[in-house]
Chains A and B, each alone.
Chain A
Amino acid sequence: MTPTTSQLLETVTTRGNPQIDPSLHVWGWQIVLYLFLGGLVAGIFILTAALELSSGERARTRALGAMPFVALLLLSFGMSFLWLDLAHRFWAWRFYATFRPTSPMSWGAWILVLVYPAGLLLGLGSLDEAQRAWLRARTPGFLRGLLARLTDASDAHRRAVLLTSVLMGVGLGLYTGLLLGTMPARLAWNSAVLGPLFLASGISTGAATLLLLKLDENERRALVRWDLVAIGVELVLLTLLLVGFGTSGEAGRYAAHGFLGGPYTAVFWSLVVIMGLLVPLAMEAIEARRHLPSVALVPVLILAGGLALRWIVLAAGQASAFRLLP
């Protein structure tokens, strides 16, 4: 028996054989949570800034004014998961020694840095007088001057700050999806639609997070409207994603199969589409039509659906490796 031929066959057939090579599942819950929180934070930035831009006045609810800071905390939380996932954790600074315009990871690393000052300015300007006094009292003496200058700057250039926040939010939200598209060997990630899809989902989960707060009625109604639009856009983009896969040749059809009959069919349609999109959509529509009191369950379902979307796209991508193709 010549070893070469039979060994060659053995190797070729057993690639992807679960007993030999279970899967190339290297991105786990850390990345899922990071992408989820990143999208949610992007949504909070876009929505708080957009609310203020459209109404022309600061948030009426105090909790809403503090949300940019909460968003930054959540983002730091998410980034700590990302950092946990890195193989060389203490070389992360190297991202900032360079900038590669063709690399979404490089864009992302820089957006993540720029989001912090933008969020700080957005947040400082959203605080009301009482909150500002509270913050001033708790700031160490040598920083008070800086705080006052930043707050003044934020008030003086409010429109620029708000527009920058929207821009940063859009950039962050898009990046969480486009990041996945950089790996062509992952068939289920090979779509530019993932960027806008994750952005729309981020806006929806951001709105859901804000809806969990006790809000002024006008603010609440505006957020529900934004949420309905975001959910609608998400449904369209999901359809486009699957249509795109289905019409793009063997690799795409393989990726689409994962969601249309393959292993991710049930979880994807049940958790993401039905639980995370259609049921909240129906409930928000019923709420508006029949003037029912809102329930916290709607945002909870949206958040769960958004988490499921990241989890399933991440898992489906890692299960759809190029080498399984004929």
Chain B
Amino acid sequence: MAVTLPLYTHDLFGTYAGLLVGTLVGIAFGFVLERAGFGRARNLAAQFYLTDTRVLKVMFSAIVTALVGMTLLSGIGVLDLAQITVPETFLWPQLVGGLLLGAGFIVSGYCPGTGVVAIASGNLDGIAAIGGVMLGSLAFGFGYGPLEGFYKSGGMGVARIDRLLGVPMAVVAAAVVAMAVGAFLGGEKLEAIFAPRAGETAPASPPRVKARVFGGFAAIAALALAALALPTRGAATPARTAQTIGPLELARELVTAPETLWIVDLRPGAAAAKERIPGAMVTPPGDARAAFAAGLNPTRRLVAYGASGAADLPDGVRKFPGDVYVLEGGFEGWTSAVLTAPVPPANPTPDVVARFQLASALHARFTGAAVAAPVEIRPVVSVPTGPRKGGGC
């Protein structure tokens, strides 16, 4: 089985269709949250008075489902885990943020996602809560200056628990399943104690449902563990890389079909302002990552060039939804191939002459110099190639 997931690696959809996927995923997300009872603050608050541990049950079932699903799919080699975005770890802000968010959760009765669902079901307190979330995030932004140090503290990059422990993901997944089932049973015990005290009946799930759900978790986790015995799979799908385009080819495109190209000059402003490929866009000051390039219309091809060679592509260029090309040799390549007069070939064959004529015409076009005199084609004496020498590497 080939590595085929996640789907976005196949360039099936660009940026904008991806946003539409967001709407569709969101509809499913919102629908399920509503059906789970999360549009009502009292269902959520009950978690913290232990009369109904619905939040725990839904959240952990969801985490376990997605976790064992990903583990199994990557275990049998269908999913490339390297292409999955894992939120980065910044221990201290996440610890403090979690405490604050938990406090806000019980005070407001919603978390940001469930607040949106509360609005959708007509609960006015949801509007108040989301209004608060908006104010709070603005407050964070405007108070960011002094907070920045703390915000970036405890940074560990992508810290996956399985990697930190040095064990296969399937083992951690199995442990999470065991822990979750333990938490569910514990939660039900607590409900049985606290719900009657509050004068409510403890919510009971039918044993058949529990047996199926817990059994399903255990079975998939076991399969994922079994998949560890499979031979390891080959390399991951390569990340999308930029193609290259030669200076002469670019020059020709520029003459014949300039409206199919975006040309982006990645060199610092001063150099680019002095001399650049005709029509090239210059990175505006303060936009070091060339973010503007991501917003260009993807119907054209984007050609990026640096001073020389293939410069590191900035984020903006990488995010350009259409085809990205890197100019071979950068501006230096352009200078030597197009802006410098081509040397007439010493040993002309039809091929070489054609290339020379093209180069010469392009040189003339871009510099205004006179076109080189035609070159006479002389018969070529073919040189017999001797036996290849062995040795070397």
Residues of A within 8 A of B142 (CB): none
Nearest B residue (CB) for A297: B122
Task: Let me know if A18 is at the binding interface, CB within 8 A.
Answer: yes
Given contacts A19-B284, A262-B298, A265-B19, 20 further A-B contacts (CB under 8 A): A2-B368, A5-B366, A5-B368, A9-B254, A13-B259, A14-B279, A17-B279, A17-B281, A19-B281, A261-B14, A265-B16, A265-B20, A266-B20, A266-B22, A269-B23, A270-B19, A270-B20, A295-B122, A326-B257, A326-B260
Q: How far is the CA of A10 from the CA of B278 in the complex (A)?
A: 5
Binary per-residue interface labels of chain A (88-103) against chain B in the complex, 1 for a CB within 8 Å, 0 otherwise: 0000000000000000
B263 contacts the other chain (CB 8 A): yes
Say whether A12 faces chain B, with CB atoms less than 8 Å apart: yes
Contact B298 A13 (CB under 8 A): no
Contacts A5-B365, A266-B23, A269-B23 hold; do A261 and B16 have CB atoms under 8 A apart? yes
Contacts of B259 in A (CB 8 A): 12-13, 15-16, 323-326
**Separation in Å of the B257 CB from the closest CB of chain A?**
6
B9: interface (CB < 8 Å)? no
Give per-residue flags for A292-326: 1 if the beta carbon is below 8 A from chain B beta carbons, else 0: 00010000000000000000000000010001111
Contact assessment for A13 and B279 in the assembled complex, using a CB-CB cutoff below 8 Å: yes
Q: Is A263 in contact with chain B by the CB < 8 A criterion?
A: yes
Q: Is A6 engaged at the interface, CB distance under 8 Å to the other chain? A: yes
Closest to B260 in A: A326
For B365, list chain A residues within 8 Å (CB).
5
**Quick check: A263 and B278 within 8 Å, CB to CB?**
no
Q: Is A274 an interface residue (CB 8 A)?
A: yes
B297 interface residue (CB < 8 Å to A): yes
Which of A4, A5, A254 has the most B CB atoms < 10 Å from its CB? A5
A326 to B301: give the CA distance in the assembly, Å.
13
Closest chain-B Cβ to A283's Cβ sits at a distance in Å of 12
B276-305 vs A, Cβ < 8 Å mask (1 yes, 0 no): 001101101000000010011111000000
B296 touches A12 (CB 8 A): no
**A18 in contact with B292 (CB, 8 Å):** yes
Residues of A within 8 Å of B16, CB to CB, are: 261-266
A 4-35 contacts with B by CB, 8 A: 4-6, 9-10, 12-19
B367 within 8 A of A: yes
Q: Using CB atoms and an 8 Å cutoff, list the residues of chain B in contact with chain A.
A: 13-14, 16-20, 22-23, 27, 122, 254-255, 257-263, 278-279, 281-282, 284, 292, 295-299, 365-368
A1 proximal to B (CB < 8 A): yes
Rounded to whole Å, the gap between the CB of A244 and the closest CB of chain B is 19
CA distance A163 to B263 in the complex (A): 58
User: Is A132 an interface residue, CB under 8 A from the partner?
Assistant: no
A136 within 8 A of B: no
Given the interface pairs A5-B366, A5-B368, A270-B23, the reply to whether A13 lies near B296 with Cβ below 8 Å is no
Could you say which of A6, A18, A257, A264 contacts B278, with CB atoms under 8 Å apart?
A6
Closest chain-B Cβ to A321's Cβ sits at a distance in Å of: 11
Q: Is the CB of A18 within 8 A of B258?
A: no
Q: Is the CB of B263 within 8 A of A6?
A: no
19 cross-chain CB contacts under 8 A: A1-B367, A1-B368, A5-B368, A6-B366, A12-B279, A13-B254, A13-B258, A13-B259, A13-B278, A14-B279, A17-B262, A18-B296, A261-B14, A263-B297, A264-B16, A270-B20, A324-B259, A326-B257, A326-B259
Which chain B positions have C-beta within 8 A of A295?
Answer: 122
Indicate if the CB atoms of A9 and B368 lie closer than 8 Å.
no
CB distance from B247 to the nearest CB of A (A): 15
Q: Which residue from chain B places its CB closest to the CB of A2 in the assembled complex?
A: B368
Cross-interface CB contact of B19 among A18, A19, A266, A323, cutoff 8 Å = A266
Q: Quick one: CB contact mask for A261-298 with B, threshold 8 Å, 1 for yes?
A: 11111100110001000000000000000000001000
9 A-B pairs with the lowest CB-CB distances in the bound complex, closest first: A13-B279, A2-B368, A266-B19, A265-B16, A270-B23, A9-B278, A13-B258, A10-B278, A266-B20
- Which residues does chain B contribute within 8 Å of A324, judged by CB atoms? 259, 297, 299
- Would you give the shortest CB distance from A245 to chain B, in whole angstroms? 14
Give Cα A3–Cα B271 distance, bound, in whole angstroms: 20
